[in-house]
């Protein structure tokens, strides 16, 4: 599929980028050499007439991407989460991408629901509305279950969208390969890896069962969180091409006039948006990766309602601890500790000077703490931090990039609700609470308990594992070297077995 027949798609893309003026913006954002910029303009100019005109009211990059269609819109939205690749300015432009597209016929949607779920749509739903939202991959209908009367949202993939996306993704792969072969400097941006990441994200969104799983996991994690709710999926009425979940009723978070008219406290809402995001990222390691106003509502009781779980972020436990220690170090202005955490985590090569790194971190933190509350930005701090760590040899970590990008969006939402919010004041109790529970003696005891639990599981297999290691050690011992005496192996095996058995007894006693 990634052969010469994709060249036409690439020519059309280049022509559209040239006609809309996007080519210069993109190359500038990626810091392309002058010669490459000239070459791109020279190659694109003869085909300019083949390009799509797009909406002249949009900025050049978003104008071109919107004109090129659903796959390009989704690609642009995903690139907006990677300022490390496209630069901060272009990343900000791409966040404005809207994928509101003309809906497809409701009769087609009903037919797809019937085929996917094997149900009679008119018997299953007493109401089934015209599309209430239409995006690049799917559209949503408001419906009511005939059996229970519950209002639900039914999300249906666009007909043939998986095939259309695969064609465009093949063209993206071809373009990435050509760019890497012709423009060596581009390899540091890893175009092929970027396209592969895009492909994996889109493949996930093209199977709505995976989004339903994300919604269910997020709902389970946050069930006890006050002031928020998550619609739950209906697994009996969900499949690969159709997802049914509870209807999210409420006011859009961008509708400030209606929010004020309903008597909601915007200051409290702003603090809750920020603190909930940090809690989900640190406590659960699973956070909503697309928390813009369009994916949040305010319910009548004042709860924040989350929906659209196509982009979710995940952090492993060790990364969460590192991230929390970095944040609390900055909050306390302990730059030496922040530097130590980077070295301990292996984020910065061990051969770098820790004192120089700590001094560079002070340059990051001090100007921010000199600002008044309305200008303090955790997202800006993380952005500056990544610039410094890159200079000291830190490799890009995509999970932290998504975290930083989501932080930018969350801060924007919070400041829209409350322009005077003090981000650090809101963040501090959340981060300190996490630190108290997960860094220190209590966390050490819990980690030892987990280690004991693992040993307990492997207890019955430890003697055989020790015997196998003894045999391998005897077979590979170097000439003249003294192998371990069998007594030592026996003692080691006995110690491990006793440890595992004791751990099992303790855990059983503790319930």
Query: What is the rounded average pLDDT of the residues 62-85?
Result: 76
- The residue ranges of every structural domain in the chain are 4-98+165-202, 105-157+207-247, 252-439, 442-509
Interatomic CA distance for residues 81 and 85, integer angstroms = 9
Closest CA to 429 of 276, 229, 267, 225: 276
Beta bridge partners of 243: 155
Domain 105-157+207-247, classified CATH 3.30.200.20, yes or no: yes
Sequence-separated (6 or more) residues with CB below 8 Å from residue 478: none
Hey, how many other C-beta atoms are within 10 angstroms of the C-beta on 464? 10
The per-residue pLDDT for range 154-201, each reduced to its tens digit, is 999 999 888 888 888 888 887 777 777 766 656 655 677 777 777 777
Give pLDDT, residue 505: 44
To the query of whether residue 353 is one of the catalytic residues in this protein, the response is no
Place of tokens 């989350």: 306
User: CA 367 from chain center: how many Å?
Assistant: 29
Reported as a pLDDT band with limits 50, 70 and 90, residue 509 is very low
Catalytic residue among 84, 168, 170, 290: 290
Sequence-separated (6 or more) residues with CB below 8 Å from residue 298: 250, 251, 253, 259, 262, 264, 269, 304, 305
The token pair at 113 is 């629901």
Sequence-separated (6 or more) residues with CB below 8 Å from residue 5: none
Closest CA to 383 of 47, 111, 25, 84: 84
Lowest mean pLDDT among 107-121, 230-244, 329-343: 329-343
The per-residue pLDDT for range 436-453, each reduced to its tens digit, is 887 666 666 766 666 666
What DSSP character marks residue 103?
P
Interatomic CA distance for residues 11 and 82, integer angstroms = 25
What average pLDDT is seen over the chain? Answer: 79
């Amino acid at each position: 599929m990634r052969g010469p027949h994709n060249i036409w798609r690439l020519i059309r893309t280049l022509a559209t980028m040239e006609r809309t003026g996007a080519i210069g913006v993109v190359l500038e954002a990626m810091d392309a050499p002058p010669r490459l910029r000239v070459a791109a303009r020279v190659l694109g100019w003869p085909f300019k007439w083949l390009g799509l005109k797009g909406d002249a009211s949009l900025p050049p990059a978003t104008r071109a991407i919107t004109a090129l269609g659903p796959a390009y819109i989704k690609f642009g939205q995903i690139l907006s989460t990677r300022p490390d690749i496209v630069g901060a300015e272009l990343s900000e432009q791409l966040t404005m991408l809207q994928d509101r597209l003309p809906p497809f016929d409701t009769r087609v949607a009903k037919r797809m629901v019937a085929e996917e779920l094997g149900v009679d749509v008119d018997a299953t739903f007493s109401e089934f509305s015209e599309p209430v939202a239409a995006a690049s991959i799917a559209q949503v209908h408001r419906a009511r279950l005939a059996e229970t009367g519950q209002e639900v949202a039914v999300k249906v993939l666009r007909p043939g969208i998986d095939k259309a996306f695969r064609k465009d993704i093949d063209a993206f792969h071809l373009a990435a390969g050509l760019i890497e072969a012709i423009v060596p400097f581009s390899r540091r941006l890893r175009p092929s890896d970027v396209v592969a990441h895009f492909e994996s994200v889109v493949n996930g969104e093209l199977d709505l069962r995976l989004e339903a799983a994300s919604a269910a996991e997020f709902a389970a994690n946050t069930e006890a969180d006050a002031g928020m709710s998550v619609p739950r999926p209906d697994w009996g009425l969900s499949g690969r091409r159709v997802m049914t979940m509870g209807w999210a009723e409420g006011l859009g978070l961008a509708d400030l006039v209606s929010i004020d008219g309903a008597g909601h406290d915007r200051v409290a809402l702003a603090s809750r948006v920020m603190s909930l995001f940090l809690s989900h990222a640190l406590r659960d390691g699973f956070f909503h990766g697309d928390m813009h106003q369009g994916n949040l509502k305010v319910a009548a009781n004042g709860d924040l309602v989350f929906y659209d779980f196509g982009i979710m972020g995940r952090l492993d436990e060790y990364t969460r601890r590192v991230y929390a220690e970095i944040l609390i170090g900055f909050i306390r202005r302990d730059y030496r500790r922040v530097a130590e955490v980077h070295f301990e985590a292996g984020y910065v090569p061990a051969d770098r000077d820790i004192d120089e790194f700590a001094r560079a971190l002070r340059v990051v933190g001090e100007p921010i703490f000199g600002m008044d509350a309305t200008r303090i930005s955790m997202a800006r701090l993380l952005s500056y931090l990544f610039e410094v760590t890159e200079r000291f040899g830190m490799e890009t970590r995509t999970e932290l990039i998504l975290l930083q990008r989501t932080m930018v969006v969350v801060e924007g939402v919070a400041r829209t609700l409350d322009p005077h919010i003090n981000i650090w004041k809101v963040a501090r109790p959340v981060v300190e609470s996490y630190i108290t529970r997960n860094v220190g003696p209590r966390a050490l005891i819990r980690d030892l308990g987990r280690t004991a639990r693992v040993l307990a599981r492997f207890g019955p297999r430890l003697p055989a594992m020790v015997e196998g290691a003894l045999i391998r050690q005897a077979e590979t011992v170097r000439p003249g070297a003294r192998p371990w005496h069998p007594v030592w192996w026996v003692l080691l095996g006995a110690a491990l077995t006793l440890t595992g058995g004791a751990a099992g007894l303790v855990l059983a006693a503790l319930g």
